[in-house]
Amino acid sequence: MKDQAASLRSMVSGPEGGNESRTTPRSSKIITVASGKGGVGKSNFTLNFALTLHSLGKKVLVFDADIGMANIDVLMGTRSSYNLYHLLYRHKTIREIIQLGADGLPYIAGGSGMKELFSLSDRDLEFFASEVEDIAQEMDYVIFDTGAGLSKENMRFIGAADECLIVTTPEPTSITDAYALVKVMHSQEHSTPFRMIVNRVEDEREAERVADKIAGVASRFLQTDIPLLGYISEDAQVITAVKKQMPYRLAYPNCKASKDIQRLALRYLAVPAASESGTLSGIRGFMKKWLKRTT
Ligand SMILES: Nc1ncnc2c1ncn2[C@@H]1O[C@H](COP(=O)(O)OP(=O)(O)OP(=O)(O)O)[C@@H](O)[C@H]1O
Ligand SMILES: [Mg+2]
């Protein structure tokens, strides 16, 4: 059996082999997946989107940043031996707390460490930041799956990221809560660009209708652009996959939702966020902004 260190070595050298990425720091892009209302499909989106980018040869690290809930573990039927808590109390390095999930996708479970993260001393925060920087430099994308809503913690993640992907469903409550999230971020003068994912739609037209509603009010009242990145169909196979604790993309690669997420990921790679300048602030920028808001 491969030991954890060996698995991590192959993880960072990637599916195409070679160890160039270990020595060449990458400009990783930090993405936060958020929603106003809970239960709209953030964790399923994060996991299946990450798996799709991973299968397209990108180096992706998923960070389960939902305080209190082990979403990513539950969706994969895995149980993390280590989480952020083990890093923060220095028993483990960041490489040791990275778990390899379905298809070898690396992820970090926030677990009980998430709560601690917001009350660390400066010294411990610096340690955390340098550990995260260490691993993120080997990644193309670090994707944070957050809990729902407008908590201080979520907003700090969103505000520090290079981009925020907002998940909504066509339900009116989900739409108004998504808008409320953007509005609060805007009122705090965060400049993180947003893009929208409409989940559980009947068809593309419904996704466009929902996106137009949010984009319309955001542009009118906040002068903010929130383009639609893509949509995922309402698909009974997603529910079955959740019950089986398998990512739908792997359990049912040809189901509607899997095809949608594939299209969405390809579009993601082809179309950068509107306000992206070309130079990402990456993990350094993320940590700088993130740490600033802890004091
Ligand atoms: N495209 C879809 N088609 C059908 N059902 C879906 C779809 N996406 C999500 N669901 C259902 O919604 C449930 C909640 O999804 P998920 O856990 O990803 O939401 P979440 O936004 O992460 O929730 P929380 O806010 O609690 O973290 C899933 O268990 C599944 O039953
Ligand atoms: Mg979730």
What is the pLDDT at residue 270? 95
Cα of 167 from ligand 2 centre, angstroms: 11
What is the pLDDT at residue 275? 59
For the chain, how long is the longest CA-to-CA vector?
58
55 domain-assigned? yes
Quickly state the pLDDT bin for 10 (edges 50, 70, 90). very low
What is the pLDDT at residue 24? 56
SS (H, E, C) the chain: CCCHHHHHHHHHHCCCCCCHHHHCCCCCEEEEEECCCCCCCHHHHHHHHHHHHHHCCCCEEEEECCCCCCHHHHHHCCCCCCCHHHHHCCCCCHHHHCEECHHHCEEEECCCHHHHHCCCCHHHHHHHHHHHHHHHCCCCEEEEECCCCCCHHHHHHHHHCCEEEEEECCCHHHHHHHHHHHHHHHHCCCCCCEEEEEEEECCHHHHHHHHHHHHHHHHHHHCCCCCEEEEEECCHHHHHHHHHCCCHHHHCCCCHHHHHHHHHHHHHHHCCCCCCCCCCCHHHHHHHHHHHCCC
Number of folded domains that form the chain: 1
Average pLDDT over residues 159-184: 95
Number of Cβ within a 10 Å radius of residue 89: 11
What is the pLDDT at residue 4? 42
CATH code of 104's domain: 3.40.50.300
Percent residues over pLDDT 70 in the chain: 87
Ligand 1: residue whose CA is nearest its atom 26? 39
> Is 80 exceeded by the pLDDT of residue 295?
no
Does the Cβ of 227 fall within 6 Å of ligand 1? no
Does the Cβ of 68 fall within 6 Å of ligand 1? no
Count how many residues are written for the chain: 295
5 domain-assigned? no
114 domain-assigned? yes
11 domain-assigned? no
Quickly state the pLDDT bin for 26 (edges 50, 70, 90). low
Quickly state the pLDDT bin for 211 (edges 50, 70, 90). very high
> Is the Cβ–Cβ distance between 191 and 275 less than 8 Å?
yes
56 domain-assigned? yes
Sheet holding 106-109, edge to edge: 99-100, 106-109, 60-64, 141-145, 29-34, 163-168, 194-201, 228-233
**Which atom of ligand 1 lies at the shortest distance from residue 40's CA?**
21
Does the Cβ of 235 fall within 6 Å of ligand 1? yes
pLDDT, one tens digit per residue, over 135-162 is 888 999 999 999 888 888 888 889 889 9
Does the Cβ of 238 fall within 6 Å of ligand 1? yes
Tell me which residue range forms the domain holding 190: 25-292
222 domain-assigned? yes
From 37, 40, 69, give the residue whose CB has the most ligand 1 atoms within 8 Å, as the site to mutate: 40
Cα of 169 from ligand 1 centre, angstroms: 10
12 domain-assigned? no
130 domain-assigned? yes
> Is 50 exceeded by the pLDDT of residue 30?
yes
Among 21-25, 180-184, 281-285, the range scoring the smallest mean pLDDT is 21-25
Does the Cβ of 146 fall within 6 Å of ligand 1? no
User: How distant, in Å, are the alpha carbons of 17, 131, 288 from that of 87?
Assistant: 28, 9, 19
